[in-house]
Structure 1
Amino acid sequence: MTAAPTAPGRLERRKARTRAAILQAASELFHANGFEETSIQQIAERADTGVGTLYGYFTSKEDLLREVLRASRDESVARYRAAVAADTPAIERVCTALAAIADYLDENRRLLVSVFRLAARNQSFDDEYAEWLQRSFTDLIQAGIRSGEFRPVPADAAARMLITTVMTACLGIGAWAGRSGDPLVIPEIQQLARALLAR
């Protein structure tokens, strides 16, 4: 017989509130002022805690940025999951995922510029998210191939192509220069995905 889980005690609840307040403060300041322009002192003050306490929860400002983006990613994934059902066709799942990536990029544009800068100095900074996104998209495409809804394309290459296309389009770089914020971009990429994948 297993014991019923116990509710967290007062100390654990207080720690959770402090951690949440620090993350909320960091998110607000990073989005408003930018990562580079925000100091640990400002985050601590906004969270109504001390710098030493902040460092008890997060090892660095970069660690805070990772956690802020992870929370935003988790919210984006939750919105995606709420938008699809078990019987949602594979192509609709892919198109919904493309829109979710675009929304995430738009919501976090300023922070992601900082991530790109940090990644240039520290190759492993954004590897976790990039690997997760690639794996998830490849799995979506492989599921569509297995169900017979998609042509037998190289799933990993197709996932990379679609992810890179959404990213460069949303950032308005390369062939997508000048199209950042264009409401037709994501429908065009979704149309591309349909042409590439659907039988």
Structure 2
Amino acid sequence: MSAAPQRVGRRERNKQEKLERITAAARELFAEHGVDEVTTQQVAEKADIGAGTLFLYAKTKGDLLLLAQNASYADALEQGRAAAESAADTLAGVLAIVRPVVECNRKQVENGRTYLREMVFGDPEEPHRQVALGLALQTEEAIAAVIARDLRTEPGTAPALAHVVSSIMFITMASPANAGSPVDALIQEIGDQVRLLLPR
């Protein structure tokens, strides 16, 4: 006899609804104005909650940015995984995963660069940062899966190669020299470097 599915209580539903409103408000305001021009009070007002309640979900504006960007990053990663399934070759498959992540990161350049900084240097105990790091790891795993499909890949090397590809992607996005570069230029730069790593 199987147990009946447990219903989510009202308190949990309310918490989830508030989190969704906060995420949507932060995404919209950060996209429109940039993280530096938005206050936590503005996010709280747009989400129709008190500032004190907001801080139960995100302690700083950096945490809010992580919360907002994580949702976009997760969507981008799923899009990339799906595109990689039909890629013509290994490089195309890797770049199919990379492109939507770069596009997500570049929708608002300063938001994207601040997100990367928070991901690397933020509070290690912050749950939204842990989610961001988990997404970075999932990106590496998706890239490794594409590389491992190539029969020329030496056994066991795909994860290390994917780690290098991930590093190239994040450094290219974060570099001040690329602050004004369009997505296509970044993908070209990443692709030129990744091509040298892949089996030939």
When normalised by structure 1's length, the TM-score is 0.72
Select the structure of larger CA radius of gyration: 1
Query: Structure 1 128/58 Cα, relative in aligned 2: closer, same or farther at 3 Å?
Result: closer
1:110-125 → structure 2 map (5 Å cutoff): 110-115=110-115, 122=122, 124=124
Read off the aligned partner of 2:191 and give its amino acid letter: Q
Decide whether the 8 Å contact of 1:169 with 1:180 is kept in 2: no
Decide whether the 8 Å contact of 1:44 with 1:54 is kept in 2: yes
1:40-189 → structure 2 map (5 Å cutoff): 40-85=40-85, 90-115=90-115, 122=122, 124=124, 129=132, 132-133=135-136, 136-137=139-140, 140-141=143-144, 144-145=147-148, 148-150=151-153, 155=158, 158-170=161-173, 173-174=176-177, 180-181=181-182, 183-187=184-188, 189=190
> Secondary structure of the residue that 1:107 maps to in structure 2?
coil
Query: Structure 1 37/149 Cα, relative in aligned 2: closer, same or farther at 3 Å?
Result: same
Shift of 1:140: 3.2
- Aligned counterparts of 2:28 and 2:105: Cα–Cα separation in 1: 17
Give yes or no for the alignment of 1:196 onto 2:193. Answer: no
Query: Structure 1 22/188 Cα, relative in aligned 2: closer, same or farther at 3 Å?
Result: closer
1:27-46 → structure 2 map (5 Å cutoff): 27-46=27-46
> Secondary structure of the residue that 1:23 maps to in structure 2?
helix
The RMSD of aligned alpha carbons is 3.7
Name structure 1 gaps, 5 residues minimum: none
Shift of 1:59: 3.3
Shift of 1:73: 1.4
Identity across matched positions, percent: 26
Shift of 1:149: 3.9
Query: Structure 1 178/60 Cα, relative in aligned 2: closer, same or farther at 3 Å?
Result: closer
> Secondary structure of the residue that 1:36 maps to in structure 2?
helix
- Aligned counterparts of 2:179 and 2:43: Cα–Cα separation in 1: 34
Name structure 2 gaps, 5 residues minimum: none
Decide whether the 8 Å contact of 1:98 with 1:166 is kept in 2: yes
